[in-house]
Structure 1
């Protein structure tokens, strides 16, 4: 070897471009899969390390894919309509919103992370995220709500929730939480478009009580600051892992009640920026 030249490159320009093209087309494809395809198509012998080096040369590295809902073109338009409808609302409006959601909580948790090729700035690129369903797996189901002033009630749900069950949860907890959080007559209720939430029995009950609601876009958990409040709760739960379901329920209630107004203030104050990010991301899921 000539001094200063370094190691001779093992692949041709044609092979390099083929490798990089395959990576860009399918960000989830493994180095091993690409290696076998290149060897079969171009008749060359290469290693997994060569695949990784060629990816690194164009700034792509294997990273865990963020889980984001799949948003169709129709639902992206609905997200745009939501932004247009509420982007000029002052902060006093958002301070009157009672945010809600249901979740399942895993006793022992799970991982199952999918890896993708991406650059350092592509974390939220739709090609580099994984579509999610509405809820993850778990063994304790809860309904909860919060507003700018703090957290409202957290209720455990036994069995499969129906529209009638959801109506009863709201009857027993909606105004109780609103009163606790001093929202008054200007309270605006937020819930998503789950079929239980949009059922006739629930709609009639809310209409009868003159409850104002946000017109919520489908598949938009990133617009709901509740998602980050749940993340905060999960971080706190990890400090005192529950050994069984009874302990899990007790710890969830205790840690939920311990979440302070400093946390809920920041989350509600993030709403205008969530709307801005939705526009910036062309209505695809945002960093939230």
Structure 2
């Protein structure tokens, strides 16, 4: 049942005093008539609309101790509630439970969440990211529309969906209906390559075997990138990451021979590449399929089908986020961004 705020109580009281019925006031305030009835009875008995004093269990910690708890959590983000409890007992002599520690943290809008896993950026990586972003800070969406972003990603047949939940009763944790069997080696995997631009995208290429410089040149660049570049025109710019096969001499020489401009890329910068989110979109679509792929062949077919079903407007929005990505990286002084 919704509780009325102080201003709502005063407003309801004013309506009652001018003769409005309790039912009409309840409809106006979007509450039941019993709430208005109790409010009117309380006012007639006490001449006040304030809540009566309520009894309750006394707090185990003071405001100062709550601030101490929140300060510890802010200074050491991985500290546990039990560790804070032990520290509180050592420093103040107050012994409380882990849940008592969590209460002031929750009131302060602190929540325990899984930490985000990001690449380990060294000093030279950060400097390279800042230089790269400064050089392209003034690129507008018209210029980014000439860039093809490309990447490879691997998908496994057996993947663990950590968003799935099961309804179970007590002592049923390991029953067959409540467990998910996962092959630690993935049950087979498929590596795919793709490229996206504002105007379109390449077909999803399923990699057969190991990606070497020669395979990358003959089966990906020659088949997908070069035809796309010729259709796009002289302003076409090709982007890929710093994988060894991408920087092989036969690859760089081939791109120069085809007069394809390339976009230099700072190491360890997946947050700056919009195509990384395309793989997340494909993974989400695989998890939402009613019938999951049972083998590598079905997985490859499902990936190609889901890639064809992607909305080009979504891909366009990803690429048009590049100015925001660059500004976020510069604002974080070359550090990792939320992207």
Contact 1:100 1:226 in 2 (8 A): yes
Deviation at 1:279, TM superposition (A): 2.0
For residues 232-251 of structure 1, what are the structure 2 equivalents within 5 Å? 232-240=281-289, 241-251=292-302
Change (3 A) 1:10 1:173: same
Match of 1:173 among 188, 205, 224: 224
- Structure 1 spans left out of the alignment, 5+ residues: 114-136
Q: Distance in 1 between matches of 2:79 and 2:209?
A: 39
Deviation at 1:13, TM superposition (A): 6.6
- TM-score (normalised: structure 2): 0.67
Q: How does 1:126-165 map to 2 (within 5 A)?
A: 139-165=189-215
Segments of 5+ residues of structure 2 without an aligned counterpart are 1-52, 164-185
Q: What is the match of residue 37 of structure 2? A: none
State whether residues 226 and 258 of structure 2, in contact with CA within 8 Å, keep that contact through their aligned partners in structure 1. no
1:191 positional shift: 0.8
Aligned match of 1:203: 252
Structure 2 CA distance for aligned equivalents of residues 212 and 163 of structure 1: 18
Larger radius of gyration: 2
CA RMSD after TM alignment: 2.9
Structure richer in strand, relative to its length = 1
Question: How far is the alpha carbon of 1:44 from its aligned partner?
Answer: 4.8
* Contact 1:242-1:251 at 8 Å conserved across structures: yes
Check if 1:268 corresponds to 2:268: no
Asked whether the equivalents of residues 137 and 326 of structure 2 are also in contact (C-alpha less than 8 Å), the reply is yes
Contact 1:149 1:264 in 2 (8 A): no
Structure with the larger RCO, 1 or 2 (CA within 8 Å, 6+ apart): 1
Give the 3-state SS of the residue equivalent to 1:203 in structure 2.
helix
Moved over 4 A (4+): 3-6, 12-18, 36-44
Return the alpha-carbon distance in structure 1 between the equivalents of residues 71 and 255 of structure 2: 53
